[in-house]
Structure 1
Amino acid sequence: MRNDAKEQKVAGVGLAVFSGDFCRGDEVLAALRQDTGCRVVDDRVLVKEAARLSGMSPGAIERAFSAKDSVFEKFTHEKGGALAWLRRALAEQLGSSGLLLAGNVAHLLPREISHYLRVCLIAELPFRLQQAMAAENLTETEARRRITAADTAKAHWVQALRGHEDPWAAELYDMLLPMAETGVEEAAALIGRQLQRSAVQPTEESRQALADFQLAAQAGVALVEAGHDGEVAAQQGRLTVRITRKVLMFNRLRDEVQAMLGELPGVAEVSVEVDPGVPHDRQAEIYRKHDRGTPSKVLLVDDEREFVQTLSERLLFRDVGAAVAHDGQSALEMLIDDEPEVLVLDLKMPGIDGIEVLRRVKKIRPEVEVIILTGHGSEDDRRTCLELGALAYLRKPVDIDELEARLQEAHQKVQASREADRA
């Protein structure tokens, strides 16, 4: 039975809990939910809500948490978009009090919102290995691999948001609990006592920080929807947009962003600046506005390496973002990992041929549009491909204008389907 007096004392405050895998985090969260009556908002909940709001797929939203970028990232800046929508979804959730933020989403919360108690649950590796092996019947090698992969992803996430290489660093949290030495009930009790401290109660400053976060989240989504990519901060109605790539025509970019964001309710001023500390891996990138009406997730599948590379470059010259796979198996793997919208598919390839790839694509991801581009197909092949759901059947050498027109048709079909699902 919940302690109603305790629930009354924690009204208006919230929890943000970040846990290492196999550190009994789920058990502690269940105990906290029982003790405090807080509503849990975890990664799954926020991904689902961000996908609903944005029309992006849940997989694309989830990639924001991953250390690995999609092969289409340089064309779409999709990761930045996913992060903007996660912040927007969280900002809407924060309109309610008594939340328990659990998982990666705990680090989306700015430090300045001080009426949330930040907690980290972690343990030494031997304890985690034992927990993993017992819970999921893993070998020690399998358990170690699982934990290492999870920790790598969490470290990347915390580095990206907080600039800290160690996701378990004590300075990132109000409480860091060593779960090898702390039982589940003891951990929940310790957290519950800290929630009742006056230092965690809402203040005028923390409420303003929450309002700033909500405004910045709204502006971040507006920026993404207009095809821009930048980091937005807010302070009492004043927005600052930081660009982390080289900008060729800064004044035009600044004027466009200021005009757009200046129309948002509650915005008093907008400044745009290029971050002087551009990460090393972005120093060669030129800022490019993403045109949502242009195909940017096209996968070219062809074993003729020189041909397909040249085709990719010609399409990029026309602002069509295209990645390359040289065989059917690689294409099918990228279908799951990178979620292309359109495949341009050769028929004659070693291993899995184009017709079998088409058949599997339409079974696994029927919403993906497929354009056949081949120099060896027959009339029977053409008929088979169209019956299997190919959008078009083109022959090499292809007229680039015709291919671009077909790609645009495919992109419009995909976008229309997403809009229908969103409605």
Structure 2
Amino acid sequence: MSVISIFSAAYCSADQVVGEVVDHLGCRLLDDDSLCQDAARLAGVSADKIQRAFHAKTSVFNKFTHEKERAVAWLKLALAQAMQDDGLLISGFASLLAPRTVTHALRVCLVADTEYRLGEAAKSGVSEKEALRRLREADEDAAAWAEVACGFKDPWDSALYDVVLPMDKKPIAEAGSIIVRSAAREALAVTEASRAAAADFLLAARVEAVLVGEGHTVGVEARNGNITLSINKNVLMLGRLKEELARIAKSVPGVEDVETKVGKDFYQADIYRRADFTLPGKVLLVDDEREFVETLSERLLMRDMGSAVVYDGESALEMIEADEPEVMILDLKMPGIDGIEVLRRVKQTNPAIEVIILTGHGSEADREQCMELGAFAYLQKPVDIDKLSETLKAANEKIHAARKD
């Protein structure tokens, strides 16, 4: 039996159509939630972290942490492992990760006009305004994901699919029947070549997961044990990078040979940067002295430490909720919500965040209060950048040690 992948616009009766196909064929269902759980087990992280890869909004820290790229790599690996078996139905965003080289996979897209989708949304009891907001957000996520997963900016591009079903014109049962009949076509039969392509997908996914775990984000293709790595950002020491990538890739069982090349985007202005996950990469700087804090951010970046900047306590609390920094460098005297109140709230709601107080106006009483509230360290301005860097590294080590426990 062939593999079936179904990608759907929001509110296009996808669950019902998938149910029809599963009931008729008895195939194993792999939806986004299940795949995220599988990927999380492989990666040793929470499923929530993997799930965030499907959203259009990317964390401000991602250029330092590569969390999205790592999540996508683990999703590919989990999917590649699942695709070694036949009789699989992949439903959701993850369906776009299935490579077209696996010719026994049927690719289906469910779409509908806005009126139909609003009607489906209304069945859940939401207002038309809320339904429109949900559709817009879902379509933004779908477009961003299609570009990440397969390089297409339009997730509804017919070139991505073998079958496109307009659900505003097809009853659910008929849509299910069309998919079942299409999956039985001779062209989708499992062959020796298509099984080899699935094995290539698995090997490429394994190599990509190892590379991204070492901080490298490159294109990976596999064919009969031969790996091709594509570098898609400009790099100053290309020869050294090629050697390092080849060394890492060759360590993966099943890899026989490695070729590295520059990709189509190599000559753009963006510069290749290997992520060093041993250094702090999610540091939030909170200070109303704009020139000081922006300069501090640049100096940390020169030491390969990634940071984001906000200028008041309220913005800091909002960013904590949206982007989950790991370490915060916090001034005390700020307009609005002051640093002590920010520290108190952070330790109440996100106790795992380590907070380093950096102030030029604090007293001994302030220091004692901050340490009692759970601050990691209390430093005075002006601070030696090396001392601050060492304090940041110590806070980062504490966080990662706690995760291992």
- Could you list the per-position Cα deviations for residues 357-388 of structure 1 after superposition, in whole angstroms to 9, with x for gaps in the alignment? 22222233222211111222233332222222
Whole-angstrom CA distance in 1 between matches of 2:79 and 2:341: 42
Matches within 5 A, 1:397-412: 397-412=382-397
Whole-angstrom CA distance in 2 between matches of 1:169 and 1:289: 33
Q: Does 1:265 align with 2:256?
A: no
Q: Does 1:319 align with 2:319?
A: no
Pair 325,239 (structure 1): closer, same or farther in 2 beyond 3 Å: same
Instruction: Name whichever of 320-329 and 66-75 sits farther off.
Output: 66-75
Aligned with 1:386 (options 368, 371, 376): 371
Give the percent of matched residue pairs that are identical in Structure 1 and Structure 2.
51
Whole-angstrom CA distance in 2 between matches of 1:166 and 1:287: 26
Aligned with 2:180 (options 178, 182, 192): 192
Conservation of the 8 A alpha-carbon contact between 1:231 and 1:243: yes
Instruction: Name whichever of 145-154 and 163-172 sits farther off.
Output: 163-172
Aligned with 2:69 (options 66, 80, 88): 80
Conservation of the 8 A alpha-carbon contact between 1:296 and 1:321: yes
CA deviation after TM superposition for structure 1 residue 230, in Å:
0.7
Whole-angstrom CA distance in 2 between matches of 1:59 and 1:374: 35
Whole-angstrom CA distance in 2 between matches of 1:96 and 1:387: 56
2:143 corresponds to which residue? Answer: 155
The one-letter amino acid paired with 2:9 is G
1:122 corresponds to which residue? Answer: 111
Whole-angstrom CA distance in 1 between matches of 2:140 and 2:332: 39
The one-letter amino acid paired with 2:92 is G
Q: Does 1:297 align with 2:282?
A: yes
Whole-angstrom CA distance in 2 between matches of 1:69 and 1:366: 23
Whole-angstrom CA distance in 2 between matches of 1:32 and 1:179: 15
Pair 32,363 (structure 1): closer, same or farther in 2 beyond 3 Å: farther
Aligned with 1:254 (options 219, 225, 242): 242
Q: Does 1:413 align with 2:402?
A: no
2:82 corresponds to which residue? Answer: 93
1:338 corresponds to which residue? Answer: 323
Matches within 5 A, 1:114-263: 114-138=103-127, 140-263=128-251
Aligned length: 405
In structure 1, stretches of 5+ residues that fail to align are 1-11
Query: Which aligned runs of 4 or more in structure 1 are off by greater than 4 angstroms?
Result: none
In structure 2, stretches of 5+ residues that fail to align are none
Q: Does 1:106 align with 2:95?
A: yes
Q: Does 1:53 align with 2:46?
A: no
Q: Does 1:347 align with 2:332?
A: yes
Pair 39,418 (structure 1): closer, same or farther in 2 beyond 3 Å: farther
CA deviation after TM superposition for structure 1 residue 278, in Å:
4.3
Aligned with 1:66 (options 47, 55, 61): 55
Query: Superposition RMSD on alpha carbons, in Å?
Result: 1.8
Whole-angstrom CA distance in 1 between matches of 2:348 and 2:22: 41
Conservation of the 8 A alpha-carbon contact between 2:36 and 2:51: yes
CA deviation after TM superposition for structure 1 residue 329, in Å:
2.1
CA deviation after TM superposition for structure 1 residue 252, in Å:
0.6
CA deviation after TM superposition for structure 1 residue 327, in Å:
1.6
Whole-angstrom CA distance in 2 between matches of 1:329 and 1:357: 8
**Secondary structure, counterpart of 2:242 in structure 1:** helix
Whole-angstrom CA distance in 1 between matches of 2:48 and 2:290: 29
CA deviation after TM superposition for structure 1 residue 202, in Å:
0.8
CA deviation after TM superposition for structure 1 residue 57, in Å:
4.4
The one-letter amino acid paired with 1:309 is E
